[in-house]
Amino acid sequence: MLKGTLYLRNSKQIDFIHDTNHYFTTDIKDSNASDWIDYMDQNLYEGYHDIFEIHPMNDYVFDGSQSDMIALYILGNTNSIRKSLEKSNLRPYIMQSDHDTFFSETETTVYEAVKPDLSNFVFGCSLLAIILIIITVILKDRKEIMISKLFGLSNMKLFRSLYTKYLISLPVMYSLTTILCYTYFVGNFRETTKDYLAFIGFYNIAYILSICIIAVILYGGIHALTSNEFMKQTKVKDNRTIVSMVLKLCLLMIVFIPCVTHGWETYDSLSILHTLLSNEKTMTNAIMLNGIIFDNTDIFEQQNTIQKLYSYIDKHNGIYEEFNYVENYELVLQGNQPLPFSITYPFITVNDNYLKDYKIQDSKGNEIDMNTLKESTLLIPDNYHLSDEQISFFCKGRPYNILSIKAGNTFTSHNPNNYTSNTLTKKNPIILLDKQWMESTSFSTDNYFIKINDEKDLNDFKSFISDNHLEKAMNFHLNKAYYDVNVSKLSYQVITSGFYTLLMLLLVFIYQIYTAIMYVHESRFIFALEYLMGKTFLQRYGSYLYTNILLYLVIVAAGVFMSSVTIMHIILFGLIMLIIDNTILYVTIRTYENKESANMLKGG
């Protein structure tokens, strides 16, 4: 059944019909497993990924659990598997439906293998950059090539002297980069990586063949260059500028949208990571209570157990917080009639213990003692003006006192997992101080926290769980564990998306540097005279700069219609790229211009 679907570290096999207590797992720290499922990408073993286990069916049938149902998802031939199950030892456990069949047809999502879109994109961009640079090289070198031909140099000798080393270095650098990336992300060579090695081998061969084709075209260009009429043209500079800008427009059209997408992902992940790191103390010093599971239906015993837990939390200054009430409410409303009023204000629900770490002032600037508030209160920043409907929404339909507070506070969640809903922090929120937080909510969420200052506090909580026989019923975690996992996950996202962004920016900026050097080199005598005549940088190179700006205006306008990223983000990213691009252009031109001017003054 599993043949060809997964790889195992030690290639051990399990008899899935008769074996029990044997299983495969993705948890490489599990010493009890029969074997470990081998991932090609070593990042998949990080703690923020799910752990999967594959067990024989007997483990489920005879484990003595009280499971109500086991769902079997069949992806093969339904009729043949139906007949096999009818004859198997599982048949007594399969219930008959009203239609005298134990199968229920359902539409399932088909997971296809990941297509190499990114690989094709990077491969294509790399070749495109090479082609663009080669075109500009020919435009730059054609005068030198023509003069060399007049002196009797052959096409092959010109090709070897000008381009051979450059063309050979390209596949060498490509292969070295591939090897380094493989070593970092995959590791050693093993059975799991066999198909991937064939995949990257194909791309290396394709790259070498592409370079060979480019070399043939380049040689053909040298061979075809026989006329010296261009050497007499007076508008060569303008013609080459147009060609280089058209080529740059093609490059930008290809890389801009992916660059914006990955760039914004990098920024978003980096900002969340910064929030986590800035609030490490808050997010690593508490026990998170995730819920209670009751095996019995005795409601009185359940209430008694919950009350004991409430009392323990209250005695140890437990914290209650709810940072994603609005987000969850909007999620429930998806596809339904929206609220007739805006709920865009930030909002949190907390208890007294949460607010002990914050200084809250009334609208006159006097600090509020939360102990003086005997009833639940809605604290509204003084720069907000809410309607009666909005107030009722934030009071969750219950009558609460209302108090105006000074705006400007920022509050931090103790739950690192809130980053997935962008609710790690809330700036200037409306605050519902819930005095009945123990009675008005349930333990089905991650909103309850008990601060731990040292190992003694943690052991005390574990003793409470043990004394009340809640080891199996009580689900809790240290928020530090979630914090470490999320920091690791976001760091990886920043590195990968940042790498893609920098790669694409590098293609654009390298091309810009090369075309700028060519632009100055071809007209260096004219620019030198203009410089000596006292013309400013903008007067000398204004047309080139303005054309470059126009390119980005075209790209941003196209990006608005072609990208799912917001218009403001596209405009902002395009502006940043333009500033960096023009800065590189300015530095490149000034550096090369100074060098060429000095050479010409020396008679070079």
Mark whether 361 and 501 lie in a shared domain.
Answer: no
Is 56 inside a domain boundary?
no
Distance CA 601, CA 604 (A): 7
Q: What is the pLDDT of residue 270?
A: 92
8 DSSP 8-state letter = B
Mark whether 220 and 314 lie in a shared domain.
Answer: no
Of the residues 435, 451, 467, which one is the last residue of a structural domain? 451
Mark whether 358 and 501 lie in a shared domain.
Answer: no
DSSP collapsed to 3 states, 354-401: HHCCCCCEECCCCECCHHHCCCCEEEEECCCCCCHHHHHHHCCCCCCE
Q: Which long-range contacts (CB under 8 A, 24 or more apart) does 423-426 make?
A: 423/323, 423/324, 423/327, 424/272, 424/275, 424/276, 424/279, 424/323, 425/275, 425/279, 426/323, 426/346, 426/347, 426/348
Mark whether 324 and 271 lie in a shared domain.
Answer: no
Mark whether 433 and 295 lie in a shared domain.
Answer: yes
Q: What is the pLDDT of residue 111?
A: 40
Q: What is the pLDDT of residue 276?
A: 92
Is 272 inside a domain boundary?
yes
Mark whether 528 and 573 lie in a shared domain.
Answer: yes
Q: What is the pLDDT of residue 474?
A: 74
Q: What is the pLDDT of residue 106?
A: 47
Q: What is the pLDDT of residue 335?
A: 52
Task: Tally Cβ neighbours within 10 Å of residue 165.
Answer: 9
Q: pTM to 2 decimals?
A: 0.66
Which of 480, 482, 417 is CA-nearest to residue 453?
Answer: 480
288 forms beta bridges with 449, 477
Burial class (CB in 10 A: 0-12, 13-18, 19+), 532: exposed
DSSP 19-73: --S--EES-TT-TTSSEEB--SSGGGGSTTSPP-EE--HHHHHSS----S-----
Mark whether 290 and 272 lie in a shared domain.
Answer: no
Of the residues 434, 451, 468, which one is the last residue of a structural domain? 451
Mark whether 305 and 436 lie in a shared domain.
Answer: yes
Mark whether 308 and 445 lie in a shared domain.
Answer: yes
Is 559 inside a domain boundary?
yes
Mark whether 353 and 426 lie in a shared domain.
Answer: yes
Identify the residue whose tokens are 């064939």. 198
Of the residues 451, 473, 498, which one is the last residue of a structural domain? 451
Is 341 inside a domain boundary?
yes
Q: What is the pLDDT of residue 75?
A: 57
Mark whether 325 and 404 lie in a shared domain.
Answer: yes
Is 424 inside a domain boundary?
yes
Low-confidence residues in the chain, pLDDT < 70: 1-6, 15-20, 43, 46-50, 57-78, 81, 88-122, 125, 129, 132-133, 135-136, 139-140, 226-241, 291, 293-298, 330-342, 421, 439-446, 472, 596-604
Single-letter code of the amino acid located at 114:
V
Is 44 inside a domain boundary?
no
Mark whether 336 and 371 lie in a shared domain.
Answer: yes
Tokens at residue 333, please? 């409303």
Is 478 inside a domain boundary?
no
Residue ranges making up the domain that contains 314: 286-451
- Structurally, how many domains does the chain consist of? 2
Is 422 inside a domain boundary?
yes
Q: What is the pLDDT of residue 162?
A: 80
C-beta separation of 375 from 401 below 8 A: yes
